[in-house]
Amino acid sequence: MNTQAIKSIYIYEMARFFRTLMQSFISPVLSTSLYFVVFGTAIGSRIESVEGVSYGAFIVPGLIMLSVMTQATANASFGIYFPKFIGTIYELLSAPVSFLEIVIGYVGAAATKALFIGCVILGTAYFFVDLQIAHPVAMVAFLLLTCFSFALLGFIIGIWAQNFEQLQLIPLLVITPLVFLGGSFYSISMLPPVWQTITMFNPVVYLISGFRWAFFGTADVPIGISLFAIALFTGACIAVIAWIFKTGYRIKS
């Protein structure tokens, strides 16, 4: 294992993040604050509580998930797409590194950035609402798994994309709607029965539900199923990446 190479990729990617630290830091704080003002205060004052939790607190896990999923995907896809776009990928291909090491480096860095933003949002939330975390270990585990699995998905998108439009396509057309419709701002039980059934096909529901359970001890779907869903998703991403690795899809002719 070329650990030095993994370290180099990780540090190089993180350096890009720190170059724009203010943006990386301020934008999630600002958008979270806006969500709290709009949803928490304006709308939340009319919805007293959801399943015994104040509405302001109820949306915190959903908000964190929303940012973490989009950030992990965006960072990882850009991280690997950019060298492809500007041609510096030659260096990765001609270095004595395995594809696995490349994946660990890029996905690790993207997951770290998403985790950082997740923590920033959680910190910001404490200024607005009273929060108790019922299962801290499970909360951290869910957060880490989500960062990691969506960074894997982002990596796949970055390899697949052949232009900037394609790079934006999946996050914009698939991930954002799924997250919004996945119960970030409401409980599935608030929906009409037909929509409750349809929603169950949205994989993001299981993540948000599981994450919410870690905060409040209540969930839309049983925690076991949530865990199974995220494991399945991670497994699928790893399988696709293994296939890319074997065939050199879109990186090696």
Partner 1 sequence: MAAIVSVNALKKTYQGGFEALKSVSLDIEDGEILALLGPNGAGKTTLISVICGMVNPTGGAVTVGGHDIITDYRAARALIGLVPQEINLEPFEKVINTVRFSRGLFGKPRDDAKLERILKQLSLWDKKDSRIMELSGGMKRRVLIAKALSHEPRVLFLDEPTAGVDVELRKDMWEIVRGLKEDGVTIILTTHYIEEAEAIADRVGVISDGEILLVKEKAALMSQMGRKELEIELHTATDTIPDALTPYDLTLGKEGKSLIYAYDTGAERTGITKLLSDLAKEGLTMKDVSTRQSSLEDIFVGLVEDAR
Binding mask 111-150 for partner 1 (x = CB under 8 A): ----------------------------------------
Closest CA to 214 of 226, 204, 203: 226
Where in the chain does DSSP place strands (E)?
49-50, 53-54
Show the CA angle centred on residue 21, arms to residues 19 and 26, nearest 5°: 150
Give, as ranges, the residues between 15 and 74 that touch partner 1 (CB under 8 A). 15-16, 19
Binding segment toward partner 1, per CB under 8 A, in 29-37, 53-61, 82-90, 133-141: 82-90
Does 253 bind partner 1 (CB under 8 A)? Our answer is yes
Q: With respect to partner 1, which residue has the nearer C-beta, 11 or 238? A: 11
Residues near 181 by beta carbon (within 8 Å), at least 6 away in sequence: 199, 202, 204
Q: How many residues of this chain interact with partner 1, rule: CB under 8 A?
A: 27
Does 97 bind partner 1 (CB under 8 A)? Our answer is yes
Q: With respect to partner 1, which residue has the nearer C-beta, 94 or 132? A: 94
Contact call for residues 136 and 119 (beta carbons, < 8 A):
no
Does 87 bind partner 1 (CB under 8 A)? Our answer is yes
* Cα torsion through 132, 135, 137, 138, rounded to 10: -120
Q: Which of 123, 136, 222, 248 binds partner 1 (CB under 8 A)?
A: 248
Contact call for residues 55 and 38 (beta carbons, < 8 A):
no
